[in-house]
Structure 1
Amino acid sequence: MERAGLRERLGAALFARVAGPEGPAVRERVHGTPGPRRFGPERPIRRVHGDAAMFVGGLAALLVQSLHPAAMAAVAAHSGYRSDPWGRLQRTSTFLAVTTFGTEPDARAAVDRVRAVHARISGTTATGLRYRAADPHLLAWVHAAETDSFLRAHQAYGAAPLDAAGCDAYVADTAEVAADLGVERPPRSRAELAAVLRSYRPELARTAEAREAARFLLLHPPLPWAVRPAYGALAAAAAGLPAAEHRALLGLPADPLSAAAVRPLGLAVVRAIRWAMPVPSGRS
């Protein structure tokens, strides 16, 4: 009974952090509302987005996305990632849950809300480069970095990694949501995804804003000291996840041995999260 109680308390604390005060109501709406879904229970996107490995993938995605100066400038100026990091996380997790598991009308409404926010965001980077959050080219980078990070995390730390066909199908699934958000011709296979990421290489840089974001995410998270060791393991796993060229640009160790060395930490923390937050039957 004591072990079950600990599991419940840990799971509730994690869910509250990730989903926020409206989390229970959102979960019930997403999973309990009858109606057609875009993605059936057999689709890879549901397996990936429903697994605890997403904790590693989400953090890695933020690191990689920060390498595009325009994307990072938009995040620094408009997202509130420092002043309200948990709110940003909760909004992102809600969007992923709704568009992956929710009904078609709910998913469309979530996409429309994001597009409306993007339409209002524009600005200038420190070097004078103009940006718009709704720019299809910028959206394509954010999508590719996110999809690659989620897939890498699932293959490294997921409970049931995908086979080659499943990986391609996952990329194709995410392309449907990306197209709705305004990405033009999003990649639909791992080969296409890799080609898109390569095409952005000349545009990437480790700006001062990117360095600040990495320090905040990896070294100075807004967390009580009691949970810092567990978060440290999660951060180490996320730092070892991106492609070697992206790790090098981030100023992180880029050799294979460094990435392999943090894998046991990642496995341990993901297994602990999975134990504390088991997927309810019929909702994976």
Structure 2
Amino acid sequence: MNIDLSGKTALITGSTSGIGFAVAQGLQAAGAQVVINGRTPQNVTEGLARLGGTARGIAADLSTSVGCKTLTDHEKDVDILVSNLGIFQPVDFFETDDAVWDLHWQINVMAGVRLARAYLPKMAAKKWGRLILLGSESAFNIPADMIHYGVTKTADVSLARGLAKRMAGTGVTVNSVLPGPTLSEGVAQMLKQEVDAGKTLEQAGIDFVKLHRPSSILQRPTSVEEVANMIIYVASEQASGTTGAALRVDGGVIDSLI
């Protein structure tokens, strides 16, 4: 399969590292004009240096409506929007105050809502577009130590399904992609104590999956590239028949036939 996105502009939020950066690399390799986003100018500058090519970037804090407007004012029209930005923070429910809930909601859900409002009508006017929202296996397997995170990821999956229906017949597809445990920089930081104790990052990841996600069929974390591959396909012309779907790259963690 030859995915050719020449002539398309792709904006990936939270893309200076991790899954987002891998998506940016893959979309650029497929011919898209890539726009990366990070919270600080330094992160964006460093991301562009790593990415190379004709990519451009914009620093904007998408946890606020002001930051989202900064982004949409700078990049007024895109063909592909990958709403990748997200945070997670293990905190027990009874120690999770309103500020933690609100921060996760604003970043994990409302950033996607605000950008969808800005870009989807323009995609519909062109009769072509792709919106991909990053969900998580935690949308279905709500983690007891991150209930606030799981709730936001369930919302992302619901948002994608609802927007797919809203965009019916326009030529614009909307889908969510559900990674499982993935060896991103964020997960590496979470496993730092075990790595410092002598484990390799890969072994620490395997041990984490076996202990905390025992339903995993893969029995290891996915790589950021493995998740990015699904997103790149969903962004392609070849995926024109897929919309309203929750597409799993979870290594089989979710124990369900659908």
Q: TM-score, normalised by structure 2?
A: 0.29
Structure having the higher helix fraction is 1
The higher-RCO structure (CA 8 Å, 6+ apart) is 1
